[in-house]
Amino acid sequence: MKHLLTDKPLRLGIFLFSLLVMTTGKLPAVETAPGTSSPPVTLQADLSPQKATIGDRMTYTLTLTRSPEVAIKLPEPPHSINGLTLIENRKKKPERFGEKIIEKGIYIYRVDRTGTVTFPAVEGTYLSDGKEKTVATRALTLTVHSLLPGDMKDIHEIKSLEPAGFYLPVPFYISAALLLLVLLGIVFRRRRKKRAARTFIEPPRSPREEAEEALKELAAMGLIEKGEFRKHCFLLSEILRRYIERRFRFPAVEQTSEEIRRRLPSLKTGETVK
């Protein structure tokens, strides 16, 4: 060892190697031996979580890593798997990392039954050196646990129905009573308004009373004493016509004296009319 440290060429080589590591921050690249290069395509499947219960959602992810010169389509897992229901799937845009291109497909399933659910292997084919090759994932398993307690083998029987009875809370009765009082108040108020709006209508007078009152007013006018005989006769004729019209119900006011005189014998007056 002491001889090696005193060898000048060796010490110079060690110094230059250390200087190269300090300036570049990494070791010199070492060529990969033939037959040990990374494959041009890899396909990996991941499952999260690997344990679930009924109704849970789990995510199945496919990751495809390939060289840029290799053409391969990202395969898809089966959409129908016993015990699972596919509810969402999406693919991410391809991204480049160094000399590789990475594509990802994400599939979300809903768990529908207990037991062990198996995800079969997913395969994809591509061309390399003029030959068709296959890349595949490994099969994955999902363990679904029951929500029932450990000592419970089945659900309990449903209890029989019990009559609920008819029950109304006290606030309901109070509210109903208040509503009834309000309605009664509205009805009473409307009736009072209708009564107040009614006007007193004097009962109609008989034809005889109306004629007697008109004759008294005519006498009080004193037309005979004033020598206004024509006017007195005209008003007296009007009183008589109105009396006959109301008493016997025919339009005497609109008829002439001759028409009224011919009609009088046919009127049922109970006495002889002249």
How would DSSP label each residue in 128-164? ETTEEEEEEPPPEEEEEE-SS-TT--SPPPPPPP---
- Please state, in angstroms and rounded to a whole number, the distance separating the CA atoms of residues 14 and 22: 12
- Burial of 128 (C-beta count, 10 Å sphere; 0-12/13-18/19+): middle
pTM: 0.43
More confident residue, 52 or 164: 52
The ranges assigned to domains in the chain are 41-145, 207-266
CATH number 3.40.50.2300 given to 41-145? no
Predicted pLDDT of residue 26: 41
Q: What is the pLDDT of residues 81-105, one digit of tens each?
A: 888 899 998 888 889 888 899 999 9
- pLDDT, one tens digit per residue, over 223-274 is 889 888 888 888 888 988 888 888 888 788 888 888 888 887 877 665 554 4
Residue range 106-120, pLDDT digits in tens = 999 999 888 898 889
Whole-angstrom Cα distance, residue 212 to residue 220? 12
pLDDT at 202 over 80: no
If one counts every other C-beta atom within 10 angstroms of the C-beta of residue 72, the result is 19
Using a pLDDT cut of 70, give the percent of the chain over it.
Answer: 73
Torsion angle of the four alpha carbons 215, 217, 223, 224, in this order, in degrees rounded to the nearest 10: 40
Q: Are 32 and 39 in contact (CB under 8 A)?
A: no
